[in-house]
Chain A
Amino acid sequence: MSSEIIAEIKKDYMYNLIKKGERVDGRAFNDYRKIVIETGTIRKAEGSARVWLGDTQVQVGVKMQPGEPYPDTPDTGVIITSVELVPMASPSFEPGPPREDSIEIARVVDRGVRESGAIDLEKLLIAEDKVWMLFIDIHVLDHDGNLVDAASLGAIAALLTAKVPNKRYELGEDAALPIRDIPIAVTAADFEGQILLDPELDEERIASTRLTVISGKDGSIAGMQKSGIGTPTQEKIEEMVDIAIKKAKEIRETHFAEFLK
């Protein structure tokens, strides 16, 4: 992402707009782009979701298969999260092994799902030394900024609609995954003290700092990631966290209402 260039003149233009309280696409600072979530798009996956965040587009698939637990946690299921930044999604993505950007996104999404306790991993024990391995695969199709939030939305939407494939492995009837929380990632960008949510591609490129905050239903924080070389003050960070938690609640209530009962 860092290799993409942006014209100085556009940078100045965007900064001047932000000083006046405006953004290039006309959004208010606290607005997200339009969020569209379609679940069940991939029948071959145990759970799936296609997510549009404005023009950013990701397809997430959850696959499950029986496997061996980690030696230090023999009674709990295993989550493995991967992100592919396929070269289709941006002129700056190249074929090849995952680079730091895709690994970072995968790890941040993984942290949100894992640390929020969204999945009751103890219920994924099948027998001694046999647990469910849960693969969350995130396929980025179109990169127009803020991949972390789009990937996170896709991951939780796919998990919420996933079915444990008990039948295929002769373990009984298929059942919903044991989901306890709906972690939502909200990314804020800092422009010389002005805080914007859901930065689109150009904003993301010129922001000095981004902070992703993943929070759960009770408003507690499950994961955070600062990226960029900016140096925000303690007050700014706390302001970003506060805005992010409020926004997460709003997104959860708008897009996941049916799962909040």
Chain B
Amino acid sequence: MKKEKPDFIVDGKRLDGRRPDELRPIKIEVGVLKRADGSCYLEMGDNKIIAAVYGPREVHPRHDQEATHAIVRYRYNMAPFSVEDRKRPGPDRRSVELSKVSRQALEPLVMKEYYPRSAIDIFMEVLQADAGTRTAGINAASLALADAGIPIKGLVSACSVGKVDDTVVLDLMKDEDNFGQADMPVAVSRGKITLLQMDGHLTQDEFHRALEMAISACKDIYELQRKALLEKHSKISFAEDSAKEEGT
């Protein structure tokens, strides 16, 4: 089944009616799992993902542990039903790479030196994918870390930006990603860039405008993240806190 490349921009509007600098709708819920120490469910357009954090906890295998700080691990995994053609379960080259860059997008914010010889594990499950899962994952993982009570210097906010029909556009959806001219995921924390990847074709000027657009959108995402975190944690009483500690 082949798809033709559609016209991406008609009368200044995109396929789904968005302006070039508009994000897809975002829905965030913090603390959705019982067993995990911290968790977050997040929708960004048609992306549906869950992030969970365990730790700080003992390191297995033992030889991975570090004497002076905690290690941070990140596992990006796609459910077999998350994409059009079923994905075979298990890691592939793509998920290994995404796990690495996502981990490094979050790691600078984690105060690892507080927990020598421990592991902080971040697990990200993609339940439905529609372009931009790594950035959606980083947004959720950042909140799961906070939900787990792990000391962090700040939240990380991420989104992608790219180019379709020679126009710089924010937060590509699936068709724009497949048939577009460039895709550039960006993560930002406290004004600094923690993730940057790009593939396709951008002039230096387009790159400049794309980066500005992404950083500005990350500020909006940050506000939504902050709101979701407060919604969950301004309600928690001390009684609930102690009940949650059990079993971990």
Cross-chain contact A88 with B128 (CB below 8 angstroms): no
Stretch at the interface among B14-22, B48-56, B101-109, B180-188: B48-56
Chain A residues within an 8 Å CB radius of B130:
44
CB pair A137 B81 closer than 8 Å: yes
Q: Mark B70-82, 1 if CB is under 8 A from A, else 0.
A: 0000010101111
State whether B84 touches A44 (Cβ < 8 A).
Answer: yes
**Are B123 and A86 neighbours in the complex by a CB distance under 8 Å?**
yes
Q: A61-B81, A62-B81, A139-B125 are in contact. Are A91 and B89 (CB under 8 A)?
A: no
A97–B82 Cα gap in the complex (Å)? 19
Report the minimal beta-carbon distance from A157 to chain B, rounded to whole angstroms.
14
Assembly CA distance A135 to B91 (angstroms): 19
A207 CB within 8 Å of chain B? no
Give CA–CA (A137, B90) in the complex, Å: 13
Interface assignment of A143: CB less than 8 Å from any CB of chain B: yes
Q: Are B81 and A44 in contact (CB under 8 A)?
A: yes
Q: How far is the CA of A135 from the CA of B35 in the complex (A)?
A: 28
Interchain CA distance A95-B75 in the complex, whole Å: 9
**Contact at A88–B81, with CB atoms within 8 Å?**
no
Residue with the highest number of chain A CB atoms closer than 10 Å, among B1, B34, B35, B247: B35
Interface size of A by CB at 8 A reads 36
Q: Is B248's beta carbon under 8 Å from chain A? A: yes
A59 touches B85 (CB 8 A): no
With contacts A63-B86, A88-B125, A141-B125 taken as known, whether A45 is within 8 angstroms of B35 at the C-beta atoms is no
A48 CA to B81 CA, complexed, in Å: 9
Q: Report the Cα distance A168→B52, complex, angstroms.
A: 35
Q: How far is the CA of A172 from the CA of B24 in the complex (A)?
A: 33
Query: Between A and B, how many residue pairs show CB distances below 8 Å?
Result: 93
Give the residue name and chain of the B residue nearest to A60 (CB). B81
> Distance in Å from the Cβ of B85 to the closest Cβ of chain A?
7
With both beta carbons as reference points, the residue of chain B lying nearest to A158 in the complex is identified as B81
From A57, which residue of chain B is reached at the shortest CB distance? B33
Task: Determine if B75 and A91 form an interchain contact, defined as CB atoms under 8 angstroms apart.
Answer: no
How far is the CB of B45 from the nearest CB of chain A, in Å?
Answer: 11
What A residues does B80 contact at CB under 8 A? Answer: 61, 63, 82, 84, 135, 137, 139
Chain A 83-115: CB-based contact to B (< 8 A → 1; otherwise 0): 010111111001101100000000000000000
User: Would you list which residues of chain A between 156 and 189 have a CB under 8 Å from chain B?
Assistant: 168-170
Q: Is the CB of B125 within 8 A of A55?
A: no
The 0/1 profile, CB within 8 Å of A marked 1, for residues 196-213 of chain B is 000000000000000000
Is A43 an interface position by the 8 A CB rule? yes
Shortest distance in angstroms between A119's beta carbon and chain B's nearest beta carbon?
A: 17
Name A's interface SS: mixed
Chain A proximity of B22: nearest CB distance (Å): 21
Bound CA span A86–B35, Å: 12
Across-interface contacts of A86 in B (CB, < 8 A): 77, 123, 125
Q: Are B34 and A142 in contact (CB under 8 A)?
A: yes
Nearest CB of B to A258, in Å: 23
Interface centre among A44, A89, A169 (most CB of B within 10 A): A44
A36 within 8 A of B: no
Q: Can you name the residue of chain A whose Cβ is closest to the Cβ of B130? A: A44
- B247 — nearest CB in chain A belongs to which residue? A201
> Does any Cβ of A come within 8 Å of B66's Cβ?
no
B115 → A minimal CB distance (Å): 16
- Would B35 and A91 count as touching, CB distance under 8 A? yes
A45 to B129: give the CA distance in the assembly, Å. 11
B28 at the interface (CB under 8 A from A): no
Q: Which residue of A lies closest to B85 (CB)?
A: A65
Q: Across the interface, do B89 and A137 meet the contact criterion of CB distance under 8 Å?
A: yes
Which chain B residues lie closer than 8 Å to A1 at the CB level? none
Rounded to whole Å, the gap between the CB of A246 and the closest CB of chain B is: 29
Q: What is the bound-complex CA distance between A45 and B36, given in angstroms?
A: 26
Cβ–Cβ contact A142 & B127, under 8 A: no
Docked Cα-Cα span, A84 to B84, in Å, equals 19
CA distance A135 to B50 in the complex (A): 22
What residues on B are CB-neighbors of A95 within 8 Å? 75, 91
- Check if A84 sits within 8 Å of B248, measured CB to CB: no
Instruction: Report the separation of the CA atoms of residues A155 and B121 in the bound assembly, to the nearest whole angstrom.
Output: 29
For A87, give its contact among B39, B75, B247 (CB under 8 Å).
Answer: B75
Q: Is A144 an interface residue (CB 8 A)?
A: yes
Q: Please indicate the chain B residues that have their CB under 8 angstroms from the CB of A59 in the complex.
A: 79, 127
- 8 CB-based A-B contacts, threshold 8 Å: A43-B128, A48-B81, A86-B123, A87-B54, A88-B36, A90-B35, A139-B80, A168-B1
Identify 7 new A-B residue pairs, CB closer than 8 A, beyond the known A59-B127, A88-B52, A139-B81.
A41-B127, A42-B48, A45-B81, A59-B79, A97-B90, A141-B125, A143-B35
